[in-house]
Structures are given as C-alpha cells and as structure tokens.
Amino acid sequence: MDHDHLREFLDEKADLYNRPSFIGLDPISIPHRFTMREDIEIAGFLAATIAWGNRVAILRSADRMLAYMGNTPYDFIINHRDRDLKGIDGCIHRTYFAEDFIYFIEALKYIYLEKGGMEAIFARYQNDDSLQPAIHEFRKIFFELPHNSRTERHLSDPFKGSAAKKINMFLRWMVRNDDRGVDFGLWKSVSPAVLSCPLDVHSGNVARKLGLLTRKQSDAKAVAELDAGLREMDPADPVKYDYALFGLGVFEKW
C-alpha cells in the first residue's frame, strides 16, 4: 500500500472507531462518568495507570478506587485525612496494591496543591515536537515525596526506554479535541501535534504489518519511529490513528 492509500485507509478506520460507541468497555469510560475537569483528570489518570490486562477487570478495579474516594476523586485527593486512607488495603489491580494507590493519592494532592496541577507540568516541560521529556519530568515530580521504590513501576519513563503506553494514552484523552465525544480536549496548553501513540501489542502488531514500524521491540525507540510515520500522514493530529491501529487489532483481528 503506497503512502497516499495508506493514509486514506487509516483515515477511514480512525473515523470508524473514533466515536462514542468506542467507549464501551474501554478504560476511557471511567473519566467519562464525571463532568468536573479535575475529576476527569484524576479518574482518567488512575484508570490509565491500571490499564493492562482484561478490560472488564480494569473497569472493576477502577470502580474500587473510585469507591474508596467516595466517587468524588478531586475532593478526596485534596481534602482527605490519614483516617480516610485506613480502609484501603489489599490488591487494587494485579501488581498495583493499596500502598501504591495511597502513594498516588498523596502525590496527586502534592501536584494539585504545590505544582499547579498535571497540565501545568506537562505544558512547562513539553518541547516543540514531543511530550516524552514532559513525561520524564512529570514522573520525577510525582515521586518527590517519600515512597517505596517498587511503586515507581506504575509510572513509566520513556527516558529509560519504556514505550510509556499508559501515560501516553492518558495524554491523548486530555489533549485531543475533535468534538467526536471520546477524547476530552481539556488541556489547551498542549498541542495534539506533540502527542505520541500509546503503543501496545495490538497497535504495534498492526503498525508492523502496515510498514509503519520496523522495530521489533515495543519500546521508546519504537514509539519515536511510529510517531514519525503518523506525523507524516497528519502533522496536526497524528494520534487520531491510534483508533485505527487499535480497532484493526482488537476488532478486526489483524
């Protein structure tokens, strides 16, 4: 498939899957329960953090986190006291345990009260063509409080070679704004042009079959390679093609 036909094909598939029916059992359904900006951000960030494995299990685990916060995530993050954390115990989702969740609660409070919120950090550290440096800096700030080092596994760092799929997915949710009813477009200080595709097994396999990705490992270098190809097709909104790649992999079984 030549470049023009590939772009037309992926545009068609992106249009097919970038619609509210896509939300269904996707983790993005969690922040869609809320209307207040900060609730959407926090619910989205936490849902993205545990977005690996069975999608039904992801939603069930996200429900537990929200229930612990009284289904008012921002109010809980800002106003909780130590006693409010006592009931959080056990496994939250696979290798994400109560200790990890409690640290995320404290780190988010720190970011909202001391750092101006999540958007402010990403806006400050973005560069002209990438948000990957901003992810690296956000992670550093996120772990400035005392914590168990094992909790760090739940927030990936592209500067250590990770594809950082979950945080890139969260950023797509917050930044893209195409009025299609899926992504939120809440963050106006970050351009969709600098987003990176959330690279997972499905999108990676499809990208390789289409010739958009030659690297076998799904890591930070693969993300950069895929970004370059997608930005050739749509420099202003390259990550809309995440819908095409994901849909082809999950729903069309490529």
Q: Count Cβ neighbours within 10 Å for each residue of 105-138 and write b for 16 or more, e otherwise.
A: bebbbebbeeeebbbebbbebbeeebbbebbbbb
Contact predicate 236/188, CB 8 Å: no
How many structural domains compose the chain? Answer: 1
Report pLDDT for 22: 86
Q: Indicate the helix (H) or strand (E) that contains 91.
A: strand 91-93
Among residues 182, 31, 142, the alpha carbon closest in space to that of 134 is found at 142
Pair of tokens at residue 51: 């977005």
Pair of tokens at residue 151: 């909790």
Residue 31: burial class (beta carbons within 10 Å; 0-12, 13-18, 19+)? buried
Q: What is the dihedral of CA 93, 110, 165, 9, to 10 degrees?
A: 120
Residue with tokens 């101006």: 116
Contact predicate 17/46, CB 8 Å: no
**How far, in Å, CA of 239 to CA of 55, rounded?**
21
Pair of tokens at residue 2: 């030549």
Report pLDDT for 254: 87
pTM above 0.85, yes or no: yes
Q: What is the dihedral of CA 238, 243, 245, 250, to 10 degrees?
A: 170
Can you give the pLDDT of all 254 residues of the chain as single tens digits? Answer: 798 999 999 999 999 999 999 898 899 999 999 999 999 999 999 999 999 999 999 999 999 999 999 999 999 999 999 999 999 999 999 999 999 999 999 999 999 999 999 999 999 999 999 999 999 999 999 999 999 999 999 999 999 999 999 999 999 999 999 999 999 999 999 999 999 999 999 999 999 999 999 999 999 999 999 999 999 999 999 999 999 999 999 999 88
Pair of tokens at residue 179: 């009025």
Residue type, 214: T
Among left, alpha and beta (phi > 0; psi -120 to 50; other), residue 4 is: alpha
**How far, in Å, CA of 192 to CA of 44, rounded?**
17
Report pLDDT for 186: 98
| Domain boundaries, position 216 | 3-250
